[in-house]
Amino acid sequence: MAMHGRRTYVNENGFLPMGEGDYGRDANGVWWARCPGARSGASLTDHSVEEHEDGTITCSPSLLIPGVYHGFLVRGEWSESSE
């Protein structure tokens, strides 16, 4: 099942708010994402992140949270396949 992600930005308190499916860059420039079904966000430091002109991102390789999610984030869309 595909899910449209949402780009978030650091707020006035320096916090990066993240709901399910959100992704964004923290005040230190580190990318974070909250996979569908996950309770919190995770750093994408072990992944390659490409930021697109519309603000969406593509992350590789696939994202894995054992027992919760294994899939892809491509141009801001979460899916279980890379297409």
Residue 82: pLDDT over 70: no
The one-letter code for the residue type at 74 is V
Ranges assigned E (strand) in 16-68: 22-25, 31-33, 42-43, 48-51, 57-65
Q: For residue 8, give both structure tokens.
A: 């978030």
User: pLDDT at residue 66 above 80?
Assistant: yes
- For residue range 69-79, list pLDDT tens digits in order: 999 999 999 99
Give per-residue pLDDT as tens, 24-54: 999 999 999 999 999 999 999 999 999 999 9
